[in-house]
Amino acid sequence: MLKHGSYLLAIILVCFFFVFALLNSASASLKRMKSRELDAVRAQAGINIGLSNATFYDEFDKFTIHDSDTNVNSTDSLVFEDMIIGDGQGWGYSFSTNSPLEINMIEYDPTWGGTYIALKIACTDWEQNINYSIDNIKFCNKDLGSLDIGQISMPSFELQIAPPFDEESGIYFKHARDLKIENIKYNYNNADDELLFKNLHMAQSFDGDPKDPDSWSAQGKFQTGTMDGEGMSSFAKFNIVEENDLQKLKLNLPMEGSLRIENIKTPDQDMGPIVLDGIKVHKMETKMVP
């Protein structure tokens, strides 16, 4: 499995360390410390960052996820071709914080008698303007069509990413968020096949009449993984594995919360609102094969 974290995380960390690497401060200097002095140093808290309309624009000819035991040029992989991350209008995506973005390391117990470290990224008042566009998705060299997701708003969130435990591989994560996606468009083959999810909302719960989207009011955060849970079973997992000579996309997604969609459209029909309230999935393992 290609080891990588959140793209947002990579951007923030790279920018943070780049700025501080170039910072020339007369009041700051390096100090050689003895081993016993280093042993006495312990991190007390994480890093808080403020962002004001931090803007980026990214294009990828190809973004590939594959099993770590597979040759990088193998077709046994999940590939996003001609991928653009922007604002959906041809310009950059942006982030702003009205409360600090917290980056910290936290401890968790993956099994009895052990302690592991996870990376935590969280913000209680977050603004973003972001859209994902993928011209073609391929899985094991099979064309699956195009996907467009955006605008995505997420007023608050918490993300935890942990290394795999023992001999496992993949991405282990927990994610709590209040989320709205204006459009999810999936197009298989041509424009006549477009499937549209209009205004998808995710939260812990909703007030309002399920039949009247204008009355909906989100409360709390939808959780993937169990935020206050212990052990590896509390993490959601994403991996590409080989089983019986077949490459498979493997997902394990425990989740809790409510999901509502204002409308689902096909070329021939409007299906109206979809309401899934009180979701509680303790364990769900899904495997996808080409």
pLDDT of the residue at 231: 73
Give the range among 27-41, 59-73, 256-270 with minimum mean pLDDT: 27-41
CA distance 233 to 253: 10
pLDDT above 70 (res 166): no
pLDDT of the residue at 139: 86
pLDDT above 70 (res 155): yes
pLDDT above 90 (res 61): yes
* pLDDT bucket at 287, cuts 50 / 70 / 90: confident
Give the range among 144-148, 167-171, 235-239 with minimum mean pLDDT: 167-171
pLDDT above 90 (res 29): no
pLDDT above 80 (res 196): yes
pLDDT tens for 245-268 read 777 788 889 999 999 999 999 888
To the nearest whole percent, how much of the chain has pLDDT over 90? 47
pLDDT above 70 (res 2): no
pLDDT of the residue at 47: 87
Give the range among 7-11, 95-99, 170-174, 190-194 with minimum mean pLDDT: 7-11
pLDDT tens for 222-244 read 999 988 877 777 889 888 777 77
* pLDDT bucket at 122, cuts 50 / 70 / 90: very high
Structure tokens at 56: 């980026």
Average pLDDT, the chain: 82
To the nearest whole percent, how much of the chain has pLDDT over 70? 79
Range picked from 30-44, 190-204, 268-282 for highest mean pLDDT: 268-282
Query: Residue 290: what residue type?
Result: P
* pLDDT bucket at 167, cuts 50 / 70 / 90: low
pLDDT of the residue at 110: 63
Mean pLDDT over 15-23 rounds to: 44
Mean pLDDT over 11-36 rounds to: 52
pLDDT of the residue at 30: 62
Q: Which residue has the higher pLDDT, 151 or 231?
A: 151
pLDDT of the residue at 25: 44
Name the phi and psi angles at 215, rounded to 5.
Answer: -95, -5
